[in-house]
Amino acid sequence: MRGEIESALGVDLFAEVTGDERLPSCFEVSELLSASVAAVASAASSLVEAVGLASSPPPVCVHQRLVSLWAGRSIHPVGWEMPPVWDAVAGDYRTRDGWIKLHTNLAHHRRAALSVLGVEPDRGLVARAVADWDAEALETAIVDANGVAAAMRSRDEWLRHPQGVAVATEPLIAWDAGRPGSLRSWGGTRDRPLAGLRVLDLTRVIAGPVATRTLAGLGATVLRIDPPDWEEANVVPDVTLGKRCAHLQLDTSEGKASLERLLADADVLVHGYRPGALDGLGLGAEARQRLNPHLIEATLDAYGWTGPWAGRRGFDSLVQMSCGIAEAGMTWSSRTEPTPLPVQALDHATGYLMAAATLAALCKGARGNGIGSARLSLARTGYLLARHPATITGTLGLRPEQADLSPITERTPWGDGRRLRPPFDMQGTTIAWDSPATELGATSATWSD
Ligand SMILES: CC(C)(COP(=O)(O)OP(=O)(O)OC[C@H]1O[C@@H](n2cnc3c(N)ncnc32)[C@H](O)[C@@H]1OP(=O)(O)O)[C@@H](O)C(=O)NCCC(=O)NCCSC(=O)C(=O)O
């Protein structure tokens, strides 16, 4: 696993991983997460050397227990509660011939699923309606209605499916051809290597936001943009740590002009709208390059960049259903219903790998080797994990102990909280977040107040 990540990234994974506690799974989930964070740590250390902040890459150390805990909830509220992870309808339902997962956390996706099923948002009504469908037919109908759902497939079925075939031929990290050019000097320090680096964040829910949260932990200024009506209450306290978050209506001329100004002054763009969505907003690759020839990009999608499902909306939990992970979990655990990974590991690993790819691209640029951008997908990360069945049964639960938590109280808009300690260390650098988690749209759409 480390070897594949190393060659995809083009950086030696020299970070030491400490601890051997593992999450329970039939796949090497904790190993995947640790290797992805080792990629971040190793690339960050290489960057410190590349930009002349140290004469050699500083030692880096990854804490497997903390990495695994970060894949659950990273904030531990004091006197308040995190909203539930799932809305009232989301979940696995029995079809005539198998299982389907409905992802209905976002209101427009819920409307799409319910309109296909022709029922009100009630689990019992949904279950009765789903039972009259075949899984793939319902999946297709919901996707055609711009919703999100995934039928449960076995790994063999996925490897034979045209999308599974396409994903298997994609690289873990697809680098573009690169272009000549130099980076703007952002003025990082040994303590905070990314201080002054501007990261524009057009990502949602977990995977992309984990990438930008990781860069913020190294000192980057991260500005996240969302449409004014976008809401992800169940993950916001976890993923907005260290970021500025602003609203922009990008399909208006003022909103687009604001984004163009932000893009022109950015160093990095991390995005996770569906492929083609930025083009639809008049901000396709050429336009972005014209606005900012120095811009490094890291992008993700759900199901890969080639094949019939390239462009399909998706989430980690759906990709796990499609690619055989939920079915393998069911057999392994002797349960009678789809059994996903104990955490949304495809999201977290893909997010860390996007952060690592950004750091590797900065390294390359700093060494005068041009400007490059990377593309990743949840499905390709899933393909990596599914080839690594666990040989040791993990037992780690997701409840942290006091020693796992930072002693500092984080003051959030929802109340005080304690954040997990950082999942890795780098000698001479403070891994920390300069601001607490915040509501979406809380700041102005500018690089500073
Ligand atoms: C997350 C999504 C499922 C959300 O789907 P959708 O709600 O249908 O969003 P889309 O990205 O397709 O965007 C819908 C449309 O809104 C437009 N759009 C986007 N932002 C704006 C703003 N600020 N203003 C105006 N319009 C906007 C965008 O251009 C699209 O236009 P049109 O193109 O004209 O429709 C999808 O973005 C996606 O599959 N992303 C790639 C994978 C990913 O990041 N998944 C979430 C992480 S996984 C995860 O965290 C998890 O498992 O949990």
pLDDT band per the 50, 70, 90 thresholds, residue 128? very high
Tell me whether strands 198-202 and 268-271 are parallel, antiparallel or unpaired.
Answer: parallel
Residues 126 and 260 in one domain: no
Condensed to tens digits (0 to 9), the pLDDT of residues 329-343 reads 999 999 999 999 999
Alpha carbon distances (Å) from 219 to 36, 54, 198, 286, 434: 19, 17, 10, 29, 7
**Atom number in ligand 1 closest to CA 255:** 24
Alpha carbon distances (Å) from 344 to 86, 99, 381: 13, 19, 12
Condensed to tens digits (0 to 9), the pLDDT of residues 49-101 reads 999 999 999 999 999 999 999 999 999 999 999 999 999 999 999 999 999 99
**Atom number in ligand 1 closest to CA 250:** 24
Give me the mean pLDDT over the 163-192 stretch. 95
- What was the ipTM of the complex prediction? 0.97
Give me the mean pLDDT over the 270-276 stretch. 93
Is residue 114, in this structure, part of any structural domain at all?
Answer: yes
Is residue 199, in this structure, part of any structural domain at all?
Answer: yes
Contact indicator for 27, 57 with CB cutoff of 8 Å: no
pLDDT band per the 50, 70, 90 thresholds, residue 267? very high
Give pLDDT, residue 261. 98
- 3-class DSSP assignment, residue 302: coil
The type of residue at 106 is: L
Give me the mean pLDDT over the 291-320 stretch. 97
Annotation says 347 is catalytic: yes
Spatial distance between the Cα atoms of 79 and 98, rounded to a whole number of angstroms = 42
Report the mean per-residue pLDDT for the chain.
Answer: 97
**Atom number in ligand 1 closest to CA 377:** 42
pLDDT band per the 50, 70, 90 thresholds, residue 25? very high
Spatial distance between the Cα atoms of 273 and 289, rounded to a whole number of angstroms = 18
Spatial distance between the Cα atoms of 77 and 79, rounded to a whole number of angstroms = 6
Spatial distance between the Cα atoms of 84 and 95, rounded to a whole number of angstroms = 25
Q: Within 6 Å (CB) of ligand 1, which residues are found?
A: 106, 108, 148, 204-208, 225, 227, 248-251, 272-274, 277, 280-281, 300-302, 313-317, 344, 347
Is residue 130, in this structure, part of any structural domain at all?
Answer: yes
DSSP 84: P
Q: What percent of the chain has pLDDT over 90?
A: 98
Residues 287 and 236 in one domain: yes
Q: Does pLDDT of 237 surpass 90? A: yes
Q: Does pLDDT of 130 surpass 90? A: yes
Residues 142 and 269 in one domain: no
Residues 18 and 120 in one domain: no
Q: Does pLDDT of 204 surpass 90? A: yes
Q: From ligand 1's centre to the CA of 250, what distance in Å?
A: 13
Contact indicator for 64, 392 with CB cutoff of 8 Å: no
Q: How many distinct structural domains can be found in the chain?
A: 2
Residues 222 and 119 in one domain: no
Spatial distance between the Cα atoms of 157 and 437, rounded to a whole number of angstroms = 41
Give pLDDT, residue 201. 98
Condensed to tens digits (0 to 9), the pLDDT of residues 224-236 reads 999 999 989 899 9
Residues 282 and 388 in one domain: yes
- Say which residues have a Cβ less than 8 Å from residue 428's Cβ, sequence separation at least 6: 48, 54, 58, 190, 191
Residues 364 and 418 in one domain: yes
Is residue 291, in this structure, part of any structural domain at all?
Answer: yes
Spatial distance between the Cα atoms of 377 and 360, rounded to a whole number of angstroms = 18
Q: Does pLDDT of 275 surpass 90? A: no
Q: Does pLDDT of 358 surpass 90? A: yes
Residues 79 and 187 in one domain: yes
Residues 113 and 243 in one domain: no
Residues 132 and 57 in one domain: no
Is residue 277, in this structure, part of any structural domain at all?
Answer: yes
From 92, 347, 425, 434, the catalytic residue? 347
The type of residue at 266 is: A
Q: Which residues sit opposite 377 in a β-bridge?
A: 301
Is residue 375, in this structure, part of any structural domain at all?
Answer: yes
Ligand 1 atom 48: the closest Cα is on which residue? 315
Residues 128 and 183 in one domain: no
Is residue 449, in this structure, part of any structural domain at all?
Answer: no
Q: Domain range for residue 136? A: 100-149
As a whole number of angstroms, the longest Cα–Cα distance in the chain is 66
DSSP 88: S
Is residue 241, in this structure, part of any structural domain at all?
Answer: yes
User: Which of 301, 313, 325 maximizes ligand 1 atoms within 8 Å of its Cβ, making it the mutation to test the pocket?
Assistant: 313
Contact indicator for 429, 58 with CB cutoff of 8 Å: yes
- 3-class DSSP assignment, residue 3: helix
State the alpha helices, DSSP H only, in 72-219.
107-117, 123-130, 135-144, 155-160, 162-168, 207-217
Q: Exposed e or buried b for every residue in 126-147, given b needs 16+ CB within 10 A?
A: beebbeebebeebbebbbebeb
Ligand 1 atom 13: the closest Cα is on which residue? 273
Residues 251 and 127 in one domain: no
Q: What percent of the chain has pLDDT over 70?
A: 100
Q: Residue 317 — φ and ψ, nearest 5°?
A: -60, -30
Q: From ligand 1's centre to the CA of 274, what distance in Å?
A: 6
The CATH number assigned to the domain holding 259 equals 3.40.50.10540
Q: From ligand 1's centre to the CA of 204, what distance in Å?
A: 7
Angle subtended by helix axes 29-50 and 2-9, to nearest 10 = 30
Structure tokens at 250: 């990008």
Spatial distance between the Cα atoms of 223 and 121, rounded to a whole number of angstroms = 35
User: Which of 111, 230, 273, 375 maximizes ligand 1 atoms within 8 Å of its Cβ, making it the mutation to test the pocket?
Assistant: 273
Spatial distance between the Cα atoms of 215 and 64, rounded to a whole number of angstroms = 19
The type of residue at 17 is: V
Residue at token pair 């993990």: 394
Give me the mean pLDDT over the 12-34 stretch. 97
Q: Does pLDDT of 449 surpass 90? A: no
Please tell me the number of Cα atoms within 13 Å of 128 on its side-chain side: 7
Please tell me the number of Cα atoms within 13 Å of 333 on its side-chain side: 19
